[in-house]
Structure 1
Amino acid sequence: MKLVILDRDGVINYDSDNYIKTVEEWLPIPGSIEAIAALSNAGFKVCIATNQSGLARGYFSSETLTAMHVKMSDLVSQAGGTISYIEHCPHGPDNGCNCRKPLPGMINTILTKYPEVRAENVYVVGDSLRDLEAGVAAGCKPLLVKTGKGERTLTKGNLPEGTIICNDLSSAVNVIAA
């Protein structure tokens, strides 16, 4: 079995420095839904690992977050694919949890769901350094997309060794499924 782990905001949907707070604000980046469907159809279990500190900050409820994920999953399903699992961190940056990226807690949780998969064969796709650091800390391969905060992340440098850089999730499919 093959597995890929995606960040959500900035990779699958448009991100905002003001947070994505409603289902209406959750808008997919062009091509991202089809890219997830393509990965799914290529035999990958597609999982999501997403920091959602807006919950801790009171910007939206867990019901709203669930509705956003239902919208995302429904769009992927309509495109012929499947999201296998979604893991989120509901904590703020000062809560001291072990799941918030750049810590590998969410990635490790996903990996335990698929014990037959070796971490070194899993791409973690993100648009921020913290996404890549979490993946590397869990033993996975880092892939940066330039969407969302990706260009900003690229400009800052200090990417983990071996980071692959792609324009967006659509172009990342060619690397991941190769």
Structure 2
Amino acid sequence: MKLVILDRDGTINADSDQFIKSPEEWTPLPGALEAIARLNHAGWHTVIASNQSGLGRGLFDVASLNAMHAKMHKMLAAQGGRIDAVFYCPHSPDEGCQCRKPLPGLFEQIGERFGVELKGTPVVGDGLRDLQAGAAVGCEPHLVLTGKGAEFRGRPLPDTYPADTRVHEDLAAFAEWLIARHAAAPKAGS
């Protein structure tokens, strides 16, 4: 199974220090939905792993989160794309859960749900926590220079990032890179 795990805020949609709390505030980043559709058309399943501590902080409710995701799914469908599943941590930072990134709980849930070993699965995010959570289960880390990642445009990554982190301008650049890499890979039996 060809699987890609994506962060949401700052990777697929615009992020905000005040949190994304409603469908009206959920706005896709330029080219992000088209990138997901391109991945889908190339045979990749896409899932989201997202911290949504705004729920635990009481800033929005599950109905609002579902409405944001319904908007995302509808806009993606219009581009010919889809997200196969959305995994999110609803807890505030002080709740001590195992699913809040940088802990790997969401990734473990994804592996269990899809019945796959995540070693080598690309994880794409705009921040350190996204990549640490994926790296903890053996995912291949990819940083996009959107959202929080924009601060590293033209700068080397700090040593706190996984050593094998690849950097891409945005989700579209990552999708182009992944599709090209897969096309260039030797096929089994050839």
- TM-score grouping bracket, smaller chain normalisation: over 0.9
SS of 1:81 mapped into structure 2? coil
Cα deviation code 1:3-39 (max 9, x no counterpart)? 0000000000000011111110000000000001111
Contact 1:4 1:44 in 2 (8 A): yes
Report the Cα offset of residue 152 of structure 1: 2.8
**Residue matched to 1:170:** 172
CA contact (8 A) 1:129 1:153 kept: no
Q: Matches of 2:178 and 2:59 in 1, distance apart? A: 34
Which deviates more, 71-80 or 162-171?
71-80
2:112 equivalent in structure 1: 112
Q: Is there any run of 5+ residues in structure 1 with no aligned partner, and where?
A: none
Structure-2 separation of matches of 1:122 and 1:72: 23
The 5 A counterparts of 1:33-112 are 33-112=33-112
> 1:153 deviation in Å?
5.7
Aligned residues: 177
Equivalent position SS for 2:72: helix
- Which has the higher mean CA deviation after the structures are superposed, 93-102 or 104-113? 104-113
Q: Distance in 1 between matches of 2:39 and 2:105?
A: 24
1:160 aligns with 2:159: no
Would the aligned equivalents of 1:128 and 1:153 in 2 still touch at CA under 8 Å? Answer: no
Once superposed, what is the RMSD of the aligned Cα atoms? 1.3
**Which sits farther off after the overlay, 31-40 or 118-127?**
118-127
Identical pairs, percent: 50
Using the TM superposition, give the Cα deviation of residue 82 of structure 1 relative to its aligned residue in structure 2, in angstroms. 1.3
Measured against aligned partners, the alpha-carbon deviations of 1:66-125 in whole angstroms (never above 9, x if no partner) come to: 00011111111111111101000000111000000000000111111222x431231010
Find the aligned partners of 1:133 and 1:69 in 2 and give their Cα distance: 24
Q: Which runs of 5+ in 2 are unaligned?
A: 182-190
Q: Is the 8 A contact 1:7 1:125 kept in 2?
A: yes
Q: Which has the larger radius of gyration?
A: 2
Q: Secondary structure at the match of 1:54?
A: helix
